[in-house]
Structure 1
């Protein structure tokens, strides 16, 4: 597997494609918005003007797109993946979409002679840049083993979780945990500040104990500086929480904290914070506490 078509060169996709090129793969990138391929070109990859051009010579096709409609469009259009990929090629969808949608796309791929894996990632932009993503994979075990070298160029934790759609189920659980964790951190920040505590010192000691987390480590400066430059936009987490709450309802799992976090994120999006980093959940807590900031 030496030639990879990488569809979606956004915040996450661009550094992932770069890491694959640096690992020695021949990477042909495509993005719907022009001008996104520069980092890949600088890393030795190539840019394609259409999905068809990217996927025709590819052994592996990777999609990294915002949601199910975009993945379905790229897959099912006349110039898309299913109609133009080589028979037997491996399609790895690393987007975050609904588990049910992932299963249907895998069935459609099989009908066109393609093998499919759903392989959403966790770790954010930093994880994508540093090649330390967590990758949760659904699909056939043999296809996973074949793709393992590709995954290892992108992530540190790579796990085959089960059949088609299960990777997306695990990602939904990840997003639920992250949302609740950010909300708890945001509440602690406002509680500490309104109590007159030195916030920087408090976050340091909290992160050294059982309250510590990757979320607190990664978002510490966001909280301290109120810097909401997006590494993962609130709008995307809003989408992911809709996936999580719907999937939980379908299997009869009760997620009261997750549902509350989903509503708070929805409130932030409705209020105009969609393009901010998801650490901007802090703004909602400040507003509710009578402590709003610009």
Structure 2
């Protein structure tokens, strides 16, 4: 039985190719036909409509930009829930509002559709190499059923809990990465102001408790002025909005999250929306 895929951008397209590479038949649909056609040479089968795609497959992957996109695909008239056969499993790799993910899952469940939130971390490189981290929320038995498919696109798969739990984990991920980038930006600024080479500071820190993947990868990006996007700044800003809204709905005041949002806002104001989100470290101090 073929699987379906909607969302064929910087993350979705290489994930589709990884499925095709191991012999999984993949049917695709995109509002922009050229996105689907680019995958035909890899073996993907384009569908003429979302409805025809939904009726063809038993597992459907989504990988789109934001909460309204997922809600529209799932719940709009003529969308996935309206056209699905009972038992369809929808795996959403998008990063969306956790509370809305729970709402979507409930509406899907009423129609006999299983909705699994499965946001990813690892960026474009992880998507290409099939080494993504997947944070999963949904029924354990259904996640286990599609485990062999998930293993084709990710290296680390963790069921965090019920519906929405994967999105909560992704929000935590974006918060930690963002605050770590702010800390690195401040550390490099401190070193420069004191007349010390930030590259040498980073080298020293890599051998101690401050070492992290963010310092390893994005610290070097900062030193190299390398902001070719793996994960774009405007998407990180969107994700930090999700963090802020979720925290507010739960009565939490996350001051660190607001500093990340402010740095990203300054980066976007200076024209860096489509640069890698590492750029936020350049704007963690307002006057920089």
Q: Secondary structure at the match of 2:56?
A: coil
1:188 corresponds in structure 2 to 187
SS at match of 2:219: helix
**Pairing 1:178–2:177 present:** yes
Determine the structure 1 residue equivalent to 2:224.
225
Q: Counterpart of 1:193 in 2: which secondary structure?
A: helix
Is there any run of 5+ residues in structure 1 with no aligned partner, and where?
290-294
| Post-superposition offset of 1:287 | 6.0
Partner of 1:154: 153
RMSD value over aligned CA atoms?
Answer: 1.9
What SS does the corresponding residue of 2:146 show, helix, strand or coil?
helix
2:83 aligned with 1:84? yes
Call closer, same or farther: CA 1:197–1:6 in 2, change over 3 Å: same
2:254 matched to which residue of 1? Answer: 255
SS in structure 2 at match of 1:158: strand
Q: Does 1:71 align with 2:70?
A: yes
Q: Give the SS at the match of 1:10.
A: coil
Partner residue in 2 for 1:277: 276
- Rounded Cα–Cα distance in structure 2 between residues aligned with 1:34 and 1:203: 46
Equivalent pairs counted in the alignment come to: 288
Calculate the TM-score normalised by the size of structure 1.
0.91
What is aligned with 2:103? 104
Give 1:38 deviation, angstroms: 5.4
Please tell me whether the aligned partners of residues 263 and 281 of structure 2 are also in contact (alpha carbons under 8 angstroms).
no
| Residue matched to 2:94 | 95
- Aligned partners of 1:262, 1:202: CA distance in 2, in Å? 26
TM-score, normalised to structure 2, is 0.92
More displaced 10-residue stretch of structure 1: 188-197 or 237-246 = 188-197
5+ residue gaps, structure 2, are: none
Task: Provide the C-alpha distance between the structure 2 equivalents of 1:34 and 1:146, rounded to a whole number of angstroms.
Answer: 31
Q: Shift of residue 204 of structure 1? A: 2.8
Whether the 8 Å contact between 2:263 and 2:285 is mirrored in structure 1 is no
Q: Distance in 2 between matches of 1:165 and 1:273?
A: 30
Contact 1:123–1:134 at 8 Å: present in 2 too? yes
Distance 2:100 2:286 in 1: 36
